[in-house]
Structures are given as C-alpha cells and as structure tokens.
C-alpha cells in the first residue's frame, strides 16, 4: 500500500496560537455576560474532537460538555447536500448559553441545520459557534461563526481531527494530501 504524503498548511504551533486566540475572545465575551450556569459546549463529532479538547482547556468558565454526530460529508471531500445525524440526542438545554464547536464550516448545511435544531428545540439564552476552519467561498447556507480560527481557501485539509475516509485524523497539524 502506497503511503501518501501530506504537505503542512497549518503547523501545530499555528493551530495552538489560533486556539489560544479564540479562547481569549470566548473568555472575554462570556465574562461580559456574567453567565450564571455552566456554558454548554456542543462538540460536533468526529472532526472537532481535537479542537474541542484543546479549546475547552483554555476556557475559564464552568462548562457542560455534550457531543453530537452530524455531517453532510460522509467519506467524500465535498458535501453530499444531505444531513446525516446519527447521534443528535441532547439533554434539556432550555434557556442555556450554548457554544457549538465545529471543525470546519464549508457549505454551511451542517451548522445551519444544527443551529436551527437547537434554537427551535431549546430556545437558548445565547447560541454561538466556534470553528477552526471557515470556507466562505463554498457557502451555500447563510451562516457565520462567531469565532473563527482560520479562513481557508477551497482545498481539502486533513489532520488535527479532520479526515479523508477516516485517515489522517491523528496528525497534530493540518495539511493537504500530495
């Protein structure tokens, strides 16, 4: 089996700096709000697990952590256009401050669906989105993240939790296959 090479686009150090910067902004925003209950962090599996882990270590507010598994990619490099939500069970989050953590916002279908679902089901006090990667040029649904690590071009990144057919998630950096 031929091993593919990966060209580093965002190094481990650049990712760490971006995560620190995002955490600082999140801490500042939630400090101003004087949040009474723990902030509910909803991590979108599988791709956001590394980003979520690193980010929440730097958030200085009490947190409740939940996970959902939702995607419009499957094993492809572009959105299928259909939302697959095999794990979308959450406790009652009515009236809570919610922060969704997503690996990448591309077409916007997945995060748009999730935001609408949460807003409709739970009527949160606040609903914000943090994403590591943002691809504005591929947007099909009008959604914006409140916190963005990197604005990226139209190329397919792997590593740091992101995969292609379940490969390369373990890499500590983000890169492209050569």
Enumerate the active-site residues: 106
18-45: burial string, b at 16+ Cβ within 10 Å, e else: bbeebbeebeeebeeeebeeebbbbbbb
Q: Is the dihedral of CA 81, 86, 89, 90 positive or negative?
A: negative
Q: What are phi and psi of 160, to 5 degrees?
A: 50, 45
DSSP 45: E
Residue 145 near residue 133, CB atoms below 8 Å: no
Number of neighbouring beta carbons within 10 Å of residue 116: 12
């Amino acid at each position: 089996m031929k091993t593919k090479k990966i060209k580093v686009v965002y190094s481990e150090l650049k990712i760490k700096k971006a995560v620190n910067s995002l955490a600082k902004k999140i801490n500042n925003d939630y400090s101003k709000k004087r949040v009474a209950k723990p902030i509910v962090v909803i991590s979108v599996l599988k791709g956001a697990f590394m980003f979520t882990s690193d980010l929440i270590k730097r958030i200085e507010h009490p947190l409740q952590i939940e996970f959902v598994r939702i995607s419009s990619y499957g094993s492809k490099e572009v959105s299928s256009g259909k939302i697959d939500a095999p794990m979308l069970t959450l406790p009652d989050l009515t009236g809570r401050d919610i922060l969704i953590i997503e690996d990448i916002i591309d077409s916007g279908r997945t995060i748009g669906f999730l935001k609408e679902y949460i807003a409709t089901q739970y009527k949160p006090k606040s609903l914000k989105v943090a994403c590591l990667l943002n691809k504005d040029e591929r947007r099909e649904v009008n959604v914006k993240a409140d916190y963005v690590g990197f604005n990226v071009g139209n190329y397919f990144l792997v590593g740091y939790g992101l995969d292609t057919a379940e490969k390369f998630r373990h890499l500590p950096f983000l890169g492209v296959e050569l």
